[in-house]
Structure 1
Amino acid sequence: MNRFLNNVFIIHVSKGYEDRRAHIDQHLPERGITNFEYMLEGDISDLTPEVKEKYFQHNECLPALSCAYKHILVYEKMVAEGIERALVLEDDAYLTEDAFEKLSAVEAEMSSERNFILNIEHSNRSVPVRIKNPGQLCYLASHTKRTGGYVIQLEAAKRIVDFFEHYQTSMPIDAFQTKMRDILGYNIFWMDPPVVHQGSKNGMFDSELSQRKKNRLGALTSYFRDGYQRHILTNLSSKRMRSFQKVTRY
């Protein structure tokens, strides 16, 4: 098993989302990933005044705070246990059939990299064709996408953990990762083609954060809309091109 898959953390609410846990328990072994653990700490009930005072400010969206807190707790566990690299998945993750093989190739490509977050999930954004190179899977970017699936290296985790020793945030975790890239000095990469879809985005699960309900018709609409944005608008947008041009490497 490659190093990306030695430590796999699933962001999961401990009660009320049993369908998601059943999905992960079945789906990941089907994709060749059998060594994973759930981050069950950080539920809304764990957001005590002391926790909110340490990590958060000017944000009372409890689902977003709980989600961010769980990701932060993964980083703290990495630092405490010296975990060099971890794959972080939210509990609605669907992996492509070739995810195991693709992640093995990514591990080889990224073997000399340190201090990074590598986003591996699909969204309505992708790497423009003009940026891509034959055989290359990972591309330095100025921002992340969502946080449904990514690999984080220990140095980047340390920088985030150190930040919360002195400061707080009002941002959800995906916006935080992007905002703090140039402040804390870590690298963000996009994997393209990516290997993770979020079930709360493709209609397979309800989404507590966006209030989007499970809806196959909505998923079909989203598929075509996101495909258009991913394959057409991405390659026409000068803003998207700038996301991969002259990006500072830390």
Structure 2
Amino acid sequence: MRKSVRILLLLYLTTCVVSLIISWKLYSLHLVLRVYPLVTTILFIVSCVFLFLVFLRHYMNRSRVSHFQKLHFQIEEAKIKRISQPCLKFTRKELLEATGNFSDRKIIGKGQFGTVYRGILAKGQTVAIKRMEFSEDREYCLKHFLSELQILEGLRHRNLMRILGYFFDGQEMIIVSKFMANFSLDVLLHGPLDCRLDWKQRLNIAVGVAHGLAYLHHECMNTIVHCDLKPGNILVDEHLEAHIADFGVARIMTNNEKEHIK
């Protein structure tokens, strides 16, 4: 658009210069009163036609891009619905009310792919709401979102995070999950002194993580490798039970990959 404006400005300046030259020539020939109005009108019409064509092209390009984005969004949404059929689809209004318009006071954590808020649904249930916005690499963000939905929707284990629902509108992706009262293992290990764990509690959490990994590696229909297991991705509930979370970069291994490892 900026390039078109520059071209239009250049054309206008050229028209002015040409008009002045012609008027001077006509004045010297004593024809200015008869010919100059006609020349000026023609140049004005040419400028208007050019301006119309520039804006018409810009409008058609925007319409084409808008149509492509809408089609792309419909394909993405269909894929998400197919992956997460049992999950509840939340509305934006519900999530805004639950988090106080995504208030900074509701933030309980931040990560590479988004911000996690503490929310209270209309029924009074406390949940964790992970809000992910599209960055420059849209495809990578969407892949992360789909991977987490696809994997966690089909898993049922007490040491794995449980997804309650999702929201997707083409601009941001939100996953709603069970709220963990003690946040993450990282917070418990490196938080205030009164949050420090004794050795028995640490052992119980480690055993819970081991149970979760054993389920992912050996008890699932398809072997799943987390690929990003760390204290920040181990959530801890009010009973100090560990829950493995954040499956955005997890991999579902094929039979050929499993045979290669063996």
Normalised-by-shorter TM-score class: under 0.3
Q: Normalization by structure 1: what TM-score?
A: 0.27
The higher-RCO structure (CA 8 Å, 6+ apart) is 1
Between Structure 1 and Structure 2, the one with more helix by share is 2
Q: Normalization by structure 2: what TM-score?
A: 0.26
